[in-house]
């Protein structure tokens, strides 16, 4: 299998990957926390003192929220760090490189040649900053009724975008933007790295 998803630009390749890795929603699993903690420990060993902050983000970080069973981890690192050695270490542990627009680099694991294999992880590597995902997560944890509303939205759009992960993500973007604005008002500069 190709060890890099950075050149997925053709419509046919996007459709093939959409069928291979559909949008699947699962009930909250308390084991997500343990999976995060184990991967966090491994990432701390790999990155060492390059890490300024590491956080469990995404829906699996919110208790009782229906989600794709993907553990998203934000690793914030010092500026001007070479990631070559880290990439080699993570490749040996089954991670594939991806380069979405918001990350310096993203490592993904759990994507096999015939579909998902085991626990899926997305490791987002960025410089330390005031990231929206942290506020959104905290707001959902503090406001379970909003988390429940978000879960219903995901269920409503999941069938339409079952084989279109980008479409699924975009369909949630307005809700996420609105809640993030509320979160930034409530939590002010909680994650400002000053």
Tokens of 81: 């760090």
pLDDT of residue 177: 98
Residues 74 and 193: their CA atoms lie apart, in Å, by 15
The continuous run of DSSP H or E covering 77 comes out as strand 70-77
Say yes or no to pLDDT of 1 above 50: no
Taking all residues of the chain, what is their mean pLDDT, rounded to a whole number?
92
Region 17-22 average pLDDT? 89
Say yes or no to pLDDT of 117 above 70: yes
Say yes or no to pLDDT of 2 above 50: no
The pTM for the full model equals: 0.90
Q: 172 burial class (0-12, 13-18, 19+ CB within 10 angstroms)?
A: middle
Q: What percent of the chain has pLDDT over 90?
A: 79
C-beta of residue 122 within 8 angstroms of C-beta of residue 108: yes
1-10, 67-76, 122-131: least confidently modelled range = 1-10
Say yes or no to pLDDT of 14 above 90: no
Q: What percent of the chain has pLDDT over 70?
A: 94
Region 93-105 average pLDDT? 90
Which residue do the tokens 């369909």 mark? 171
C-beta of residue 135 within 8 angstroms of C-beta of residue 184: yes
Q: Which of 138, 165, 157, 143 is nearest to 57 (CA)?
A: 138
Name the more confident of 120 and 6: 120
pLDDT digits (tens, 9 = 90+) for 144-189: 999 999 999 999 999 999 999 889 999 999 999 999 999 999 999 9
DSSP codes of every residue in 114-174? TEEEEEEEEEEEEES---HHHHHHHHHHH-HHHHHHHHHHHHHHHTTTTT-HHHHHHHHHH
Q: Which of 111, 110, 107, 109 is nearest to 87 (CA)?
A: 107
Say yes or no to pLDDT of 130 above 90: yes
Residues 112 and 176: their CA atoms lie apart, in Å, by 30
User: In 10 A of CB 27, how many CB atoms?
Assistant: 10
């Amino acid at each position: 299998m190709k060890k890099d998803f950075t050149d997925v630009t053709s419509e046919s390749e996007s459709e093939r990957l959409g069928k291979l890795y559909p949008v699947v929603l699962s009930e909250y699993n308390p084991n997500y926390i343990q999976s995060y903690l184990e991967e966090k420990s491994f990432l701390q060993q790999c990155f060492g003192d390059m890490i300024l902050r590491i956080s469990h983000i995404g829906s699996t970080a919110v208790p009782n929220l229906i989600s794709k069973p993907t553990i998203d981890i934000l690793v914030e690192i010092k500026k001007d760090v070479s990631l070559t050695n880290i990439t080699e270490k993570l490749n040996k542990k089954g991670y594939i490189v991806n380069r979405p627009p918001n990350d310096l680099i993203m490592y993904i694991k759990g994507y096999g040649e015939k579909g998902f294999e085991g626990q899926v992880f997305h490791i987002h590597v960025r410089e330390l900053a005031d990231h929206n995902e942290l506020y959104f997560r905290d707001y959902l944890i503090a406001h379970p009724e909003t988390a429940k509303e978000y879960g219903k939205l995901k269920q409503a759009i999941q069938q339409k975008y079952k084989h279109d992960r980008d479409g699924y993500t975009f369909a949630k973007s307005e809700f996420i933007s609105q809640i993030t604005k509320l979160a930034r008002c409530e939590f002010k500069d909680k994650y400002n790295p000053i």
